[in-house]
Structure 1
Amino acid sequence: MSSLPPVPARVVLLCGPSGSGKSLLAARSGLPVLRLDDFYKEAGDPTLPQVLGSSDIDWDHPGSWDADQAVAAIEDLCRTGRTTVPLYDLSLSARTGEEPVDIGRTPLFIAEGIFAAEIVTRCRELGVLADALCLSRGPVTTFRRRFLRDLREGRKSVPFLLRRGWRLMRAERSIVARQTALGAYACDRDEALGRLADAAAGRPVAASTAA
């Protein structure tokens, strides 16, 4: 258990493959939500990784994301109830500004994004972790949802979306395996909602990663 003093709020980290329904689940929970996608690095950053054998930026690699800034924002929200976060435009691969986030006196909030599992250990060590969940719906379902969403939102070009979608569909099982190895609990939508309700009510969650 963490020896750090109690904090006013704690976080549920919600991860899962791109297109698995994280944002919809977070919205359905009724809890405040921190969008971890807003902490992507900008195009042109020399540290951005590339897809092996391709000129494409690998936006699904943790190296494309600023974990330090995400953890700092989560800690601010847990300890003070407010922080400032970037506004990120996925279609431009650029930050377009910033905005304040205020969760008030809410004792629990969700931080969701494909890299949420990467910071499970750090949030646990800070004493702010309530739970960590990995949402999984199956490679074919996820592929369809992801492609239609990204096409509708104009996130990237169609050829890029198809290349990325095919690559992620083949890699989905390994993605889930990595996220669970990092400390997230794999579950479907209904079980995730149940665990969120338990965490919000202060009830212990089964097989919790928050210890």
Structure 2
Amino acid sequence: MSLHPPAPARVVLLCGPSGSGKSLVAALSGLPVLRLDDFYKEGDDPTLPLVEGSSDIDWDHPQSWDAEVALAAIGELCAVGRTTVPVYDIARSARAGEETLEIERTPVFIAEGIFAAEIVERCRELGLLADALCLTRGPLTTFRRRFVRDLKEGRKSVPFLLRRGWRLMRAERSIVSRQTSLGAHACDRDEALGRLAAAAAGRRAPARAAV
């Protein structure tokens, strides 16, 4: 029996516009998943940003999210394989409790959310990063998926969802551009699953085919 402790785990950061399919890809990978949406600030937090020219809270702005707490949870998962995470109720814009997430001895896990790219460089500097991916599906497809999902889950009012959906559809290309500039690799679902499998097996991510 080996006396050496298991190697620390590493994280794949999975970002992309809201509705791009991050949760589906994470589920299909079979890897443990940390939901970064659970690290949103609560609705009464005075530091929450507003949409310019509106009274709507801008839940798509990085300042609506607690990056430091999320990064601490990732660090703890990498180091000891478990951490306590908040459970966030998006419909109420409030934390509904907390739970323990365990990844056991899995060498790689996924942290997915629209703000994952914001911590790519920090995770790389700390030696925690296995890969960083940005899912893209095209603005119209993403708009449809996002609206149907948010409506089904009752996340916000219909007028709010329509305003947000229209705004994000127009901004999608700039969102992807920002996330790739922060170090995430833009890809579709199949390429993402291939890179996740490579990370889980301890291999380098496959190179993108030349066009």
Counterpart residue identity of residue 101, structure 1: L
> What's the CA shift string for 1:2-51, capped at 9, x where partnerless?
xxxx9520000000000000000000000000000000000010000000
Q: Distance between the aligned counterparts of 1:147 and 1:130, measured in 2? A: 31
Alignment partners' CA distance in 2, 1:24 and 1:73: 22
Distance 1:207 1:130 in 2: 15
Which whole-Å CA distance do the structure 2 matches of 1:206 and 1:54 have between them?
44
Contact 2:12 / 2:131 at 8 angstroms: preserved in 1? yes
Q: Percent identity?
A: 81
**Quick check: 1:43 aligned with 2:40?**
no
Code of the residue aligned with 1:88 in structure 2: it is: Y
Question: CA shift at 1:207, angstroms?
Answer: 6.1
Q: Quick check: 199-208 or 23-32, which moved more? A: 199-208
- Structure 2 residue aligned with 1:61: 61
The question of whether the paired residues in 2 share the 8 Å contact of 1:7 and 1:128 is answered with no
Aligned AA (2:129): L
Equivalent position amino acid for 2:57 in 1: I
State the partner residue of 1:118.
Answer: 118
Aligned to 1:146: 146
Deviation at 1:206, TM superposition (A): 4.3
SS of equivalent to 1:87:
strand
Alignment match, 1:163: 163
Moved over 6 A (4+): none
Q: TM-score, normalised by structure 1?
A: 0.94
SS for the counterpart of 2:186 is strand
Q: Does 1:24 align with 2:24?
A: yes
Tell me how far 1:183 sits from its aligned partner: 0.1
Question: For 1:144, what is the secondary structure of its paired residue?
Answer: helix
In structure 1, the residue corresponding to 2:114 is in which secondary structure? coil
TM-score (norm 2): 0.94
- Which stretches in structure 1 are left out of the alignment for 5+ residues? 1-5
Residue aligned with 1:137, SS: coil
Partner-residue secondary structure (3-state), 1:202: coil
Q: Secondary structure at the match of 1:117?
A: helix
Counting matched residue pairs gives 203
